[in-house]
Amino acid sequence: MGNNPSKKKTKSSSPPSSSPPTTPTTPNTSLQTSSSLNSIEKSRATTLSTASNPPPVSAEKSPEMKPSRAKSLGESQASAASVRKIEELFDKYKDPNDQLIGPEGVNLLCQDLGVDPEDVITLVIAWYMNAQSMGYFKRDEFVGGLQKMGVDSLPKIKSHLPTLRKDLDDQSKFKEIYRFAFFFAKENDQKILDLATSDAMLQLILKPYFPTIIDKFCKFLNIQTSYKSLNLDQWLSLLEFCRTIKEDLSNYDENGAWPVILDEFVEWAKEQ
């Protein structure tokens, strides 16, 4: 895991906790069921119990039930149509000889959405899809992701982009997206993220929010010789570091539960 040298002191693997603000509920696209059938059943039961000579129950279905059944059928058709539209959209961008969208298809999709492939919003979209490999979308990932977003066409995806950007302003969701970025960017059979990829991902997702610290940290990564990669604990700890430590590093406690790489970074930065 990351070719780390021996630690200078015994540390726990968890960084100091920070309390994220209350977060809004993640949008859900589940269907609501009608209560009209229950109301009809209760009304009929009350009538039968109070009438002295109750009429025989007709074998025909009550007319009141028909709108509910029609609504359910309509909802099912709408759901099927939505999935069908997403499938058609996937087929538009997938590789001709494979059942996935590759780098060329992803770039074309971004072009049609008016989004730079290097924009962090592409990472948010991949997070919704729970994509397993950078630059590739499988059919089930694509369909499932767009269903979560509640969109089934290019115009709807474009109109939903501002909502996706707001996810980055939610600290809890941001942490999930940041954690996802580690697994999304690494090689499938690896448990670590090489330094070149780490640098690129940190520039993409953290630098817009913590430019001073990330600039210094990436410079440190590129000149030090002790580390060739970052592991998940180091990756997650860096986010907490950025959130809790001042830009001048004056409140950093070297006896805190931080990974040693951050001790060495602070020591190096203070010497500059």
Residue 80: C-alpha distances to residues 27, 74, 83, 253 (Å) = 20, 10, 5, 56
Report which DSSP code applies to 256. S
pLDDT of residue 165: 95
pLDDT of residue 179: 97
pLDDT of residue 188: 80
Give me the phi and psi of 132, to 5 degrees please.
-95, -20
Residue 148: how many other CB atoms lie within 10 Å = 16
Give me the phi and psi of 84, to 5 degrees please.
-65, -40
pLDDT of residue 17: 42
DSSP per residue, 191-228: SSEEHHHHHHHHHHHTTTT-HHHHHHHHHHHHH-SS-S
Between helix 121-129 and helix 154-167 the angle, nearest 10°, is: 100
Report which DSSP code applies to 160. H
- Joined tokens for residue 117: 């492939």
Tens-level pLDDT at each residue, the chain (272 residues):
444 443 444 444 444 444 443 333 344 433 333 444 344 344 444 443 444 444 444 444 434 444 444 344 434 444 544 899 999 999 999 999 999 999 999 999 999 999 999 999 999 999 999 999 999 999 999 999 999 999 999 999 999 999 999 999 999 999 999 999 999 999 888 899 999 999 999 999 999 999 999 999 999 999 999 999 999 999 999 999 999 999 999 999 988 899 999 999 999 999 98
Residue type, 218: C
Report which DSSP code applies to 251. T
Give me the phi and psi of 60, to 5 degrees please.
-75, 150
Task: Report whether 232 contacts 191 (CB < 8 A).
Answer: yes
Q: Which residues pair with 229 in a beta bridge?
A: 194
pLDDT of residue 32: 39
